[in-house]
Structure 1
């Protein structure tokens, strides 16, 4: 399996987050990306870094806008600059109000926009959030292009969970899909700090085997899962299960 990695996969994440009413150190640390990378290497993946998004930002932006709302993307691109221009602003954008659908005027003030677009005080915006998001998008788009060109696999337990996964797999086959994109989240692990599932490391091996049984060209797009000591092993189990 080939792994296409964001050029910013080792970038420092947010400093803190709001968890059950307390500010705590954020779980999204640079070590998370490093451990995922090592897990891919342990599983025998060939890894390469995606192109820097700055080189083709206009075409990348066009691809993003084909999926996401333009106002939302404009906000992400300019949020930190507008926020940091306010006097006494924090280094990271936290929402502290929550506008709702009953408000009939869209307020452009940075504080109002933060409340409108950020729905979770664990998902902050900092100086490099937009750049890092572009790096992730660049990796996924490059991986999808490899899949389209003919590569069969690219990477960018509870019984009840596995039964549900088998049901989902059958739905994919019934639909007649020509390829499969898997949003790969290891926050289903039993020790994930914000997770609520009870999967063990060996569960990901079974998940990988089930996905392989669909016999579809597959792209794994890395998504969730905070840093825990078993993260590297969980990644390895998923890939080895798929490759077996």
Structure 2
């Protein structure tokens, strides 16, 4: 399987992460990609670099207002006397009332950043664009006839809305890739297997019938992102019935997860897509530091084999999965399980 990667992700190195109001070191660091890349190489997969697609694929998903914010906010933030090194909002307008768009950098940070887990610093914009290019490069590989490709995207993307960052995510790589696949595929399904609900991806396609969004995740009633990912969220307008959430009890193990996948696959088969994007989170693992589910390393191979059994051109887009001794092994298990099933 071809693996798409770029060193440009290193330009984004967040320092801070608030947990229950306390400041901690961010878990979304360059070492994540280092371990995943080493695992892909150890698995014998060929590494290819990103192609440069310009801003078009990103602008197909994200608003120009938001993209302008991401590109220029660091420079503007640094003009504020006493401001933090990283752009971290201290105000979040609930409901984002339609009373006008703020002119100040502080107000716009609150408008465009859903939480304090997406600090923006010098290099974040460039790294996010590069990560989107990685996703589109993989989508193009699949579009040109490959059975599957894996895109080592960092920073991740599935919490990013058209005009809002959140949860370590700035540009929605999975959505951008799905939109690229729509150039030749009339129906594309996105299956999100990250431990957290793919709320941004859901938001992008919530009113659209051409992209089915399915997410299996820890129940948000007591887990991030809290306000999205519930079973009653089915889509709206023309997209009603094209969104499926399968929230799982905290600590769900491999057997319980595989059982829940049957429901997700029923919906995917009913949609009859001609291509599949998998938002590949490795954070459902039992030893992931963000702890929500209890999938074993061997369980990732079983999950991957089930996905390969759909027999669809498949793009794997890296989402979560944080530093633990098992991180690399989890990726190797997933990729080997997928290839073994796809080749059978």
Instruction: Please confirm whether the aligned pair reaches a TM-score higher than 0.5, indicating the same fold.
Output: yes
Kept in 1: contact 2:43–2:332 (CA 8 A):
yes
**Residue number among 275, 278, 287 corresponding to 1:182 in the alignment:** 278
Seen in structure 2, the aligned counterparts of structure 1 residues 148 and 183 have a Cα distance that, compared at 3 Å, is same
Aligned length: 238
Shift of 1:105: 2.2
Residues 110-129 of structure 1: matches in 2 within 5 Å?
110-129=105-124
Shift of 1:193: 2.2
Alignment match, 2:5: 5
Alignment match, 1:85: 79
Kept in 2: contact 1:154–1:220 (CA 8 A):
yes
Q: Using the alignment, how far apart are the partners of 2:92 and 2:115 within structure 1?
A: 10
Alignment match, 1:132: 127
Residues 2-151 of structure 1: matches in 2 within 5 Å?
2-11=2-11, 13-51=13-51, 53=52, 59-100=53-94, 101-102=96-97, 104-151=99-146
Q: TM-score, normalised by structure 1?
A: 0.92
Q: Which runs of 5+ in 1 are unaligned?
A: 54-58
Shift of 1:138: 0.6
Bigger relative contact order, structure 1 or 2 (CA pairs below 8 A, ≥6 apart): 1
Alignment match, 1:154: 149
Q: Which runs of 5+ in 2 are unaligned?
A: 152-252
1:237 and 2:333 aligned: yes
Determine helix, strand or coil for the equivalent of 1:188.
Answer: coil
CA RMSD, Structure 1 to Structure 2 (Å): 1.5
Higher helix share: 1
Write out the 4+ residue segments of structure 1 that deviate beyond 4 Å after TM superposition. none
Alignment match, 2:184: none
Q: TM-score, normalised by structure 2?
A: 0.66
Kept in 2: contact 1:50–1:142 (CA 8 A):
yes
